Structure formats: C-alpha cells, structure tokens
Amino acid sequence: MRGKLSIYLFMLMGILVLFLSACNGGEAEESGTNSDSETEAGTINIGFVGPLSGGSATMGIPAQNGMELAVEEINDAGGINGKMIELMARDDEADPAKSTTIAQQLSTEEEIVAVLGGPNSGPALANSEVFAKYEIPNMISIAQNDNLLDPEKSSFATTFAMSENNTYDVRAIVEFMKSQGYENIGVIVDDSAYGQGALESIETVLDEEGIGIIEKVEHPVGAQSLSSQALKLKNAEGIDAVYVVTLGNDAALFVKTADQVGLDLPILGGRGLNMSSFIDLAGDATEGVILPTIMDPDKPEAQAYIQAYDAKYGEDNDPAHVFSVLGYDAVKLLAEGLKITEGKGGVELAEALETITDFETVSGGIDHTASYSPDKHVAPNENFIIFNTVKDGEFVKVE
C-alpha cells in the first residue's frame, strides 16, 4: 500500500513539474509603469521583456528601474518630438518559452516601436527571433552570450546590444591575469546558459592567450553546498587563481567555502558577482575578490546617475549599479535613434541606430562611448570594463 503510494507520489511530482512549466509558458503577466494596451496619440511605446520574478529578478528589476529612470528624464525634457515614451514591461521569469510567447504578444497586440531585452541569454536568444520577424528593433540590455548577435542570421539587422559579450569580459580579465603574472587558473561556472556560455568563451580566449585551465568545475544554480567544487580546485596542483562565473548567492557560497577548506588563491569573478547578496551572504570572505564592472565612480555622469537612482529607488541588490545602468543606457541609445526617426520604429529605427557614433554613456570607463555601424551591433568601445574589488564590505574600483 505504502509502496503504491510512493509511486503515485512520484507521478504527481512529474505532473507538478509539467504543471509549473505550463504555467511558465502560459499567461503573460503585466507589470511596470503601463499596462494600457491602447496607444495614445502622443506616446511612443517601448517594450521590455525580462525577469521580474525568479532568481534573475535580481538583475531584471534594477534594469527595469534604470529604464524607467531614463524614460522619466527623456519625458521631462519634452520626450521625442513632443511625444512621451512609455515603457511596457513584461515578466518572462527568465524562461525562454515564456519569453517567446511574450515577444509574440508584444509584437502583434501592442504597438511598440522597439523592445529592450533582459539579462538572460537563453530568453534573449529565443525572443530575438520573434522580434526580428516583426522587424521590431531589439536592444538587449544586459545579456552577454557570445552568439546573441550573429551577422549570419537575418535577425542581426534589427538586434542590438548595449553590453559587450562574454568574450569581451574574458579578454579584459585575461589582461588583468597577465598583469598579475597568473599562468594557470581554475574555473567554476554554474550550469545555466550564463555559466556555460561563459565557459566556452573562457576556454577559447585562454587558449589563445596561453593561460592554462588546470581544473574546471560546475554547480547547479542555487547550490546548497560547494565544498566538493572548492576541494577539487584546492587539490588541483599549480593553480594561480580561480575564476568564478556564477551569480551572487552561489559565488558567495563558493568564496565562503574556499575560505573554509583553505583554498587560498586570488579569486576573480564575472559580472554576476555584482550583487549585494554576494557580500551579505559571504561577508569577509569576499574581501579582495576581483570582478569586472562597468560603472566608474570617478566619472561625473556615473556619480550623478548613482545619486538619482538611489534617490528614487533606494538601495537594492545592485549596489554597483551595473544592471540598472545598462537598462538606463539602453533606453538612452534607443531614444537617440528615435530622435533621428522622429519616433518611428521598424527598419528605419534600426538603420538610424547604425548611424550613432561616440554616444556618451553613463556606463563604462572614463573614455567610454557607444557606437554602432551596419556590422557592429554592440555598443561599447574598448574602454567599457573597469575592475572592482571588495574592500570593507563595499565594491571599490581597482586603481
């Protein structure tokens, strides 16, 4: 009898998993500043598809805030040719299937002139095909996978990115490694598209640059223990540093555990470490960790932005403002294109975006500007990344 029941139990668990994924793929929740489906005469609608709930909301919500801040500034300054911008934000829960459904719905039922993409590469890749089909310019704000923008694909024409990709980050990190004299490293990545995409870039770039990977380990997102991984890296001989490409809470567990098992090596991270949960969870163990960031506190624009953002939203899980600022700059770039087309979207807007050069952004280092061209659809120039470290529980710039 009990045996039978456990089989039922197992079947029910299967049903549960199906049920939850069905929910994810199903309805499109609305949130954000505007849920009006009617386009008023005087407004320009811009969509945003990103994770406003779930583990990645830690990036999606600050991104949305940054976008709203930019929209507010643009509208206060008179909008685009007198028309106000409205942001239509949709939660895709970082689920590619759900993201595709939302893309379809936004493309066909709402009059959006352009759309902003979120932090997750999986959904961004999936929904960009849909937006491309309807010729809606798509500005991916945070996601970094190397193959988001593929000149071979027809979707390339209308797809743009605010941020640089994984390989760009890895190259920057490798420069840093070389400056420190590291010859061999260990790598830990999570098993999501983010970690796996990064791992591919890391393997390629390090191979080119002649830095060895002695050991690479993986872990599931939201791990309860990373001892095995830390021990494996500790027991690997000849590692000079460990490169951690996971999100804040997992990275926190890793640095704590590394400390505990006596893995006393310099730790370098990916952009995903820029979360307050990283410091909150791991405390002192985060001290000295090196991570790439895109906000230079010495830049006056950045200072002004941080002030404005914190005044409006208070402290959040994005203490280095890396995720929010990408949302902000992505909107500013789109607006620059819209000024050229006088508010029109479609291919016209995509072509207008391709003419933008040396646009001043809040993100990036002192000399950073954004430019597009017909074959360059990522905005940053070579001065995008700067490095932060953790000192006394705060992210500070590495000089």
Partner 1 sequence: MDTFLQLIIAGVSTGSIYGLVALAFLIIYNTTSIVNFAQGEFVMVGAMMAFFGVALSEFGYISTFLIIVGSMFVLAQLFKFILVSPLQKRGSSIFHIIIGTIAFGTVLTEGMGLLLGKQIYGVRPLMGREPLYFGNLSILPENLTTIVVSFVLVLVVWYFFHYTMTGKSLRAVGINPEGAQVSGINVARMTIIGFTLSALVSGIGGMMIAPISGASPYIGLPIAVKGFAAAILGGMGNIYAGMIGGLIIGVAESFANYYISSYAQAIAYGIMLLMLFVKPTGLFPEKS
Q: Which residues bind partner 1 (CB under 8 A)?
A: 2-10, 12-13, 16, 19-20, 23, 52-55, 57-58, 61, 191, 217-220, 222-225, 227-229, 231-232, 235, 247-250, 252-253, 256-257, 259-262, 275-285, 316-317
User: Which amino acid is residue 82, in one-letter code?
Assistant: G
- Distance, in Å, from the CA atom of 235 to the CA atom of 2, rounded to the nearest integer, reads 45
In the bound state with partner 1, the residue whose beta carbon lies nearer, of 236 and 241, is 236
First to last CA, the chain: 68
- How far apart are alpha carbons 48 and 232 in whole angstroms? 41
Cα–Cα distance measured from residue 214 to residue 394, given in angstroms and rounded to the nearest whole number: 31
- CB 212, min distance to partner 1, A: 19
- As measured in angstroms, the least distance from the Cβ of 335 to partner 1 is 27
Measured from the CB atom, is 375 or 392 closer to partner 1?
392
In the complex with partner 1, which residue's Cβ is closer, 234 or 332? Answer: 234
Question: At its nearest, how many Å lie between partner 1 and the CB of residue 194?
Answer: 14
Burial 303-323 (b: 16+ CB within 10 A, else e): eebbeebeeebeebbbbbbbb
The answer to whether the CB of 70 falls within 8 A of the CB of 141 is no
Torsion of the alpha carbons at 344, 349, 355 and 358, rounded to the nearest 10: 90
Q: Which of 182, 357, 389, 147 is nearest to 278 (CA)?
A: 389
Residue 275, sorted as left (phi over 0), alpha (psi -120 to 50) or beta, turns out to be beta
**Cβ at position 223, least distance to partner 1 in Å:** 7
Q: How far is the CB of 393 from partner 1 (least distance, A)?
A: 11
CB of 160 to partner 1, least distance (A): 27
Please, which residue, 221 or 308, has the CB nearer to partner 1?
Answer: 221
Nearer to partner 1, 57 or 114 (CB): 57
User: By C-beta, is 165 or 257 nearer to partner 1?
Assistant: 257
Residues whose CB is less than 8 angstroms from the CB of residue 325 and which lie 6 or more positions away in sequence, other chains included: 66, 294, 295, 302, 305, 362, 363
